[in-house]
Amino acid sequence: MSSNITTREFGRMPDGRIVTEYTLDNGLGLRLGAINHGGIVTALHVPDRHGHSGNIVLGLPSLADYLGPHPHLGTIVGRYANRIAGGRFTLDGAQHQLPLNNGANSLHGGHRGFGTRFWQIEPVPADGAAGEEIAIELRYTSADGEEGFPGEVQLTVRYALSTRENTWRIDYRAVTDRPTVLNLSHHDYFNLAGEGAVLDHRLTIPASRYCPVDAGLIPLGLAPVAGTPFDFRAATPVGERIDAPHEQLRVAGGYDHNWVLDREPAGLALAARLEHPPSGRVMEVHTTEPAVQFYSGNFLDGSLRGADGESLRRGAGLCLETQHYPDSPNQPDFPSTVLRPGEVFSSSTLHRFGTLA
């Protein structure tokens, strides 16, 4: 079976703009669907151990559903992924106030983050690596002052499927005309079974430290995972300790924390490995980022129905958001998320799919 990219009209924005769904098929059973609205990944079909492909990300039935409130299903998140305390930060002596859309804090870029914006999408022409991958390029320009952030930021995000193995790579690139802060990620809810809950999935995170949080889920520095339910250095079922009597699990209603990866400073490194023994599906996440936010779908409350009509309840999917740390602009000990004119923000995350023996 050959690789290809197909399109279909997914719906229309209230202003009449057509939203197109692009489907990338690598010819090996891996298919990814993405739309202009939010750069949302609407579906990701991956083969199981018997070669049968199933959708492993949570989605919604229609564009109208995506235009309504939802918990960032499949979106590009920014200008700042995760939380900024009080929605405030100071940069070069100037204080900036962001919308408060998560209690007393700003989350995922504010009321209208990148996951709600209209992205231009075009297929990527084959180059010297012709035949080795198929890709689409998404572009968006974030205006100076958008959601309170300084600087105009020009963004390019690339989704690429390999035609030699079952991998999905996301490449982010951004430049700015004024100093700003930037933290980009992707907010897919994965369920390797394609249905039910993810509590039986086995998760590995190569991290010896994580960020404990306060009641608003703002980091309180770093702490060791050893001896806690946050130690995923060996493969562990997601649900094995999720209801353990640990204060951090109580505060977050499960897992919703930033893990600091034990990794070399440059290049792609393993951020997480997820296994579903019954189907045999395995997903490895590799990233150039220093951390990953593991979120166990705690706030899915059944009020939304997925693309197949199922009620999306707690644990229906989990997120593995590669990123810089939450609230970095207010925590000088954390790696910087400042982007200045003349610099290029560059980040990559690779999802590698396979099966258990």
Three-state SS for 63? helix
Q: Say whether 187 is catalytic.
A: yes
- Pick the catalytic residue: 187, 201, 276, 351? 187
| Secondary structure letter of residue 208 according to DSSP | S
Going through 48-131 in order, the beta strands assigned E by DSSP cover 53-55, 75-77, 83-84, 88-91, 94-97, 106-107, 120-123
Radius of gyration of the chain (CA): 19
- Reference 101, options 112, 90, 92; nearest CA is 112
Three-state SS for 204? strand
- Pick the catalytic residue: 137, 147, 275, 321? 321
Q: Which two tokens stand for residue 337?
A: 């998320």
DSSP codes, 292-332: EEEE--TT-EEEEE-TTS-EEETTS-BEEEEES-TTGGG-T
Q: What is the rounded distance in angstroms from the CA atom of residue 12 to the CA atom of residue 68?
A: 14
- Residue 210's H or E segment, with its range, is strand 209-211
Q: What are the catalytic residues?
A: 187, 321
